[in-house]
Amino acid sequence: MRNPDRDAQIAHNLAVWFGRAARDLPWRRTRDPYRIWLSEVMLQQTRVDTVIPYYERFLERFPTVRALAEANLDDVLALWAGLGYYSRARSLQRAAQQMVERHNAEVPRDPAALRDLAGIGPYTAGAVSSIAFNLPEPLVDGNVARVLARVHKVESDIKSPEAQEIFWQSAARLVRADPAVPPSVLNQALMELGALLCTPTRPACGMCPLEKLCKARIENITETLPITAPRAKPKPANIVSAVVWHAGKVLLARRKAQGLFGGMWEPPLFEAASLENARPFFEPFLFPVTELRIVTRKPLRHVLSHRSLAVHVAAAALSTPPPETTFTQLPDPYDRSEWAAPATLAGGLSALAIKILGAAPDPGAPLVLSPSAAKPARASHRKT
């Protein structure tokens, strides 16, 4: 598959096309490594048009590595709420703290040092190294893999070790193939091509700068590549949630940092066959669980990558003040709970929590959620 002349032509064509077709995006107006790193983390599994307002709000609040490192995690999660994949936000802050400890609060230039930070793998390290520092480091994400699978006619499963090795080797050659093409341009052009033209279905081959170099196009098999294994269906789960109100405040529980919706706040919820089965789980929260009644005629549907949740919402409005105890012994997955007005909660509400609260609002007042409790982002191929 090695062909230096072909690689150089691919790099040249990509650079020329990118020069006229590149979208004007906020993170492309800067060479600040912190801003580029932030954008790359936010864009993982999230659409560009969704990311832009989050990116801008995040930088207003945390404009530097040090500002992010010193922030309260609840504040970080509040600004992330709605983007999903919340482990990204926790890893982002931990990496910022490591940069303060090891690199004088700066994003390191060395790719190996980048890969040694929390949440930064080969793709993110390659993106930051090449885009921010113009180093000849390769990268492969979903868009790049799709482009290279078609260009080289890779007929293995796109996620298989065999195919991934081909993609990374090809990306490493391309980023060095033409000395006239900066690594920052080459890598962004590859990703942009996958986002705009070399799409999963109905690729716009007639507009592609690699049309005459693409083996799949030449053999008219672009619609059959890349090869992907069937995605496993999300497993169904029956969930019961308790929404308990008193005097304008609702009982909210914070999930432990590790795991699904880590660090986010929500009305407590548990996997259970029925409300009766769920009541014992709610007892440690010290409210009269016998007052709970199911208020949703049909369960709320919430689909995750690996689970399909059917959420039955039970609600209660307390006439007497709830205990002011700070709860420490809570059932998994929670580590803390408090009575709070959702609009003023310091930490972020999970997307599922927003749905649940909408199904059982405060009977004494309309529900008003803070701007941080935004519409959940659509998961998708990154940078589309």
Q: Which two tokens stand for residue 175?
A: 């980023």
Catalytic residue among 40, 137, 192, 266: 40
CA nearest neighbour of 94 among 113, 69, 74 = 69
Say whether 40 is catalytic: yes
Q: By CB neighbour count within 10 A (0-12 exposed, 13-18 middle, 19+ buried), where does 375 fall?
A: exposed
Backbone angles phi, psi at 92, to 5 degrees: -60, -50
**Cα separation, 279 vs 272, whole angstroms:** 9
CA nearest neighbour of 354 among 246, 267, 262 = 267
User: Can you list the alpha helix ranges (DSSP code H) found in 321-370?
Assistant: 351-359
DSSP state letter for 332: T
Cross-strand bridge partners of residue 255: 334
Query: Residue 240 is which amino acid?
Result: V
Cross-strand bridge partners of residue 250: 245, 340
User: Are 162 and 71 contacting, i.e. CB atoms less than 8 angstroms apart?
Assistant: no
Q: Is the backbone of residue 104 left (phi > 0), alpha (psi -120 to 50) or beta? A: left
3-state secondary structure of 285: helix
Q: Which two tokens stand for residue 217?
A: 């196009």
The Cβ of residue 242 has, within 10 Å, a number of other Cβ atoms equal to 27
Pair type for strands 235-246 and 307-317: parallel
**CA distances (Å), origin 356, targets 214, 277, 294, 367:** 49, 19, 12, 11
**Cα separation, 358 vs 263, whole angstroms:** 21
User: Are 207 and 215 contacting, i.e. CB atoms less than 8 angstroms apart?
Assistant: no
CA 279 remoteness from chain centre? 33
CA nearest neighbour of 141 among 2, 40, 240 = 40
Q: Residues with catalytic annotation?
A: 40
